[in-house]
Structure 1
Amino acid sequence: MSLGWLNKIGVEEENRRTAVYAFFHPTFQEYFASLAIYDWHFFLNHIPGNPLQPDASYFAFEQPWREVFLLWLGNQHISNSLKEELLGALMNFDDGFGKPDFYRFRAKLLAASSLVEFQSFSKKQEVTDWILNLSISQIETFNNPTANSARNLLKEIPCSVLAETFSVFLRCENVHLQHDAAKLVGELKCSDSRVVNALEYLALTTEFKDTRCDALCSLLEIDSTNVMAIDGLIQILYSQGIDATLAIPAAQALRYAEIQKEKVIQNLENFIQPQFLEKTTVLLPPQL
């Protein structure tokens, strides 16, 4: 009370003399609740075939307990072995209902979200590979709720956890995976040096111009002083024919540039001049 963590919010309806208090912010309540939990089965005690049994517990799947779940995983006084047991149970969760495996999917998403607080999870690489594959393999269907859930979760996971998998995807032989990974790292602004190096390598080596454009755009979103990205995107502004469609995203990405602004502005002015878009116009050379 003296610390101001509890505020009086009213009185009991049955007894007007008894005050009712609430925490100043829900985070206090969630934190103290997490400290009171010692057995991980509080979050998940799956009883196959009889999930309605009184001893069964599925608080891990309930949104009001999400922050408590994460705070518990981040509690350094809880042994890593207990955290491993809980996350292992989530990774292997089987609701017993067959397809479409709704709760199995939810359970793996929960395990992935744990990387925000518990980066020592022994199956960290398996989880990151799964969540990135899920995000990227369906990136073309942006209204797909499964892929959207995965991409939203990626925004919460530290870049350092995702970097190794991203760098592998950017250097792999699957051109579709390369392309989609190049776009996604820019959205996430993953600035890990392993990702930046892989993006630069992809921009230099790919034979696909749209992949090169996406790699350069992401590089500049990640690092607004990347000279290679600025020069490469300026070159794309002067593309002709079917490749001219890449000039628009290149121009949009150049707004992130924090260096060589005079050069960037000069080339953007050339790009937006009406005669620049006419087929009969002789295009000015890029000002590099």
Structure 2
Amino acid sequence: MQSLSCQSSSQFKARLIAAPKKSPRRVGRYLIIGITGVIGLLFVHYLTLKVGFFRVKQISVSGNEHYTQNEVIAALDLSSRQSDVRTISRSVVEQRLKQKLSYVKQADLSKSILKRSLTLEITERKPVALLEYPENSLIRFVLVDLEGYVLEYIESLPASSSIVTIITIDQQVPSVGGRVEADSVQLALNVLNLVLSLAPEIVPTLQTIDTNRPDKITLQFSNLPIVWISSDFIQTGIYHISLFIKKQTILMETGQHTSNPLDGYVDARFRDAIYWGGR
């Protein structure tokens, strides 16, 4: 009797310890879920790589003036493998645009993965000066911005142009999109920048800047004789020129002007004085 009781107790414990058997329905359900998950992953992979589910669908461009939207989009050169909206970066976009479009200074990028769209905000460089190289140079005229970046080559000097011409004796002409590093050109651009900042009212009459002699920078105005300033006192010289022009304008308006305003020269190279000589 005792042996039967022990045997029954052992069998009961064995049943408690043994793992429950999975039903065929549950196994089939797990199998279906697993197969469905694999198929789903394969489908997403197919959409991504084959169909191009994340391929850029729309590109919007703003801030562009010199270039059309189509020119900007074409410069991006987004091939089918490179047009995944998730992987396109601002640095790559800006680099491509700068390489192909010399007027592009900066390009800000925002994107929507769900809409598969890109939005570009373009900042363009503004032409402020025309570099005039010596006659024996391969390129005679180069259009630059205020930092000295080459925007384009010009075959001939425009007959009527309000843009300032910088006279340079340098023979090295940078490529389009490159920066002019010549000291004389950078000095001339600095002079122009200060004129724009300190005396913008005299810019319309400023025709040429020649900084090949830093101690005797030559400025040519349409309403003044030749003007000289020094690289040591650029701001002071600009201030004196501005006052001189205002004084001459008042004299002409009141009929007190007795000399030809284009005669002689104006020497504004000194800190505390300006001379009108050679009349």
The answer to whether TM tops 0.5 is no
Instruction: Say which structure, 1 or 2, has more relative contact order (CA 8 Å, 6+ apart).
Output: 2
Which structure carries more strand by proportion? Answer: 2
Which structure carries more helix by proportion? Answer: 1
TM-score relative to the length of structure 2 = 0.28
Q: Which has the larger radius of gyration?
A: 2
